[in-house]
Amino acid sequence: MHNAAFAALGLNWRYLAFEVNPKNLRAAIEGAKAMNFAGINLTVPHKLLALEMVDELDISAKVWGAVNTIKFVQSPKSKVQSPIGFNTDADAIAQSLREDLKIKLRGAKVLLLGAGGAGKTAALKLAAENVAELFLVNRTKSKAEAIAAEIKKQFPSVTISTDFPESNVDLILNATSLGLNPGDPSPLDESQFSLKQTRAVYDMIYRPAETKLLAAAKKSGCKTANGLGMLLHQGAKAFEIWTGKPAPLDVMRKALESAVQSPKPKA
Ligand code: ATR
């Protein structure tokens, strides 16, 4: 989507993917800086590690506690490039939930599955959007409890629990990685909470386009959306940070849709 956007704007820029072992992340950022890269996107498992590896954190990275976008900025005095960390995921989640599911977050009851990097960002963003009740369920309960404690401190008006809800919710949001691989079970244990008890289901996974969770949710009559909208909007915001130009959203959406429909490239 970025290369399509660069082409649409006539920019002689390229977006490339590199697989980096987490132990080499610092060296990779230094290398990109030495090669005068404009910026970087980071994904699993680098988003939390990078917090310590940039010279400055933009308010977005501070608030959401993770870095998914770096911009190299030339300091006015020296010619040295300095990496600044941003987070474009959080706003993208809220934007996609609104656009793709027409969810009104203020006052909503949400069951959020997963308390890894993506789950944490989603939990904080939902709390900041004034959801009424947040149920943060994770295989490793202690991780959900740590996030719940942070939310209680920062957003005391949000009722937060780390157990399954006892009544209906407006939204189930999957932020676990379950569903990425074909053999994965659904991230929702339906003996604990039924899909009949929600109006909408969002899965942050976008490949496959329809996970087991989304297929079951559709069958059960829920409104559903996958993570493509979130991917689009975090990318568009990163594009704007790097280039300073408005992102050509339609061009990016089209490129993204055709990319995710094509066979998955080998890692
Ligand atoms: P991301 O940055 O994408 O959130 P992550 O930080 O590795 O990646 O988090 C993965 C999430 O998927 C976690 O919530 C993880 O649960 P744990 O915290 O218990 O590890 C969840 N997850 C991954 N595999 C799982 C599985 N087999 N069953 C249940 N949850 C799983």
Quote the ligand 1 centre to 73 CA distance (angstroms): 33
Q: What is the pLDDT of residue 19?
A: 96
For residues 241 and 69, the answer to whether their CB atoms sit within 8 Å is yes
Interval between CA 175 and ligand 1 midpoint (Å)? 8
For the segment 39-46, the average pLDDT, to the nearest whole number, is 93
Atom of ligand 1 nearest to the CA of 143: 18
Q: pTM higher than 0.75 for the full model?
A: yes
**Are 214 and 248 found together in one domain?**
no
Query: Would 129 be classed as within a structural domain?
Result: yes
Question: Does any domain span residue 266?
Answer: no
Handedness of CA 127, 239, 227, 180 (dihedral sign): negative
Residues 80 and 106 in one domain: no
* Tens-place pLDDT, residues 167-211: 999 999 999 999 999 999 999 999 999 999 999 999 999 999 999
- Residues with active-site annotation: 47
Q: Which domain holds residue 257?
A: 2-87+234-261
The pLDDT of residue 117 is: 84
What share of the chain in percent tops pLDDT 70? 99
| Residue with CA nearest ligand 1 atom 7 | 116
Sign of CA dihedral 15, 38, 29, 239: negative
Is 265's pLDDT higher than 70?
no
Distance CA 171, CA 217 (A): 11
pLDDT of res. 44: 83
Model pLDDT, residue 99: 96
- Site to probe by mutation for ligand 1, drawn from 87, 139, 143, 189 as the one with most ligand atoms within 8 Å of Cβ, is 139
Does 103 have pLDDT greater than 90?
A: yes
- CATH number of the domain enclosing 222: 3.40.50.720
* pLDDT of 59 strictly over 70: yes
CA distance 176 to 192: 17
Query: What is the best residue among 177, 206, 230 to mutate for testing ligand 1's pocket, by most ligand atoms within 8 Å of CB?
Result: 177
Mean per-residue pLDDT, 68-83:
88
CB 114 less than 6 A from any atom of ligand 1:
yes
Number of domain units in the chain: 2
Q: Is the CB of 143 under 6 A from ligand 1?
A: yes
Q: Which residues pair with 104 in a beta bridge?
A: none
Q: Is 43 in the pocket of ligand 1 (CB under 6 A)?
A: no
Instruction: Using the predicted structure, report yes or no on whether residue 267 has a pLDDT greater than 70.
Output: no
Q: Which atom of ligand 1 is nearest to the CA of 48?
A: 2
Q: Span 102-111, mean pLDDT?
A: 97
Does the CB atom of residue 179 touch ligand 1 within 6 A?
no
Query: Quick one: pLDDT band at residue 81, thresholds 50, 70, 90?
Result: confident
pLDDT of residue 266: 58
Same domain, yes or no: 61 and 176: no
Q: Are residues 107 and 183 in the same domain?
A: yes
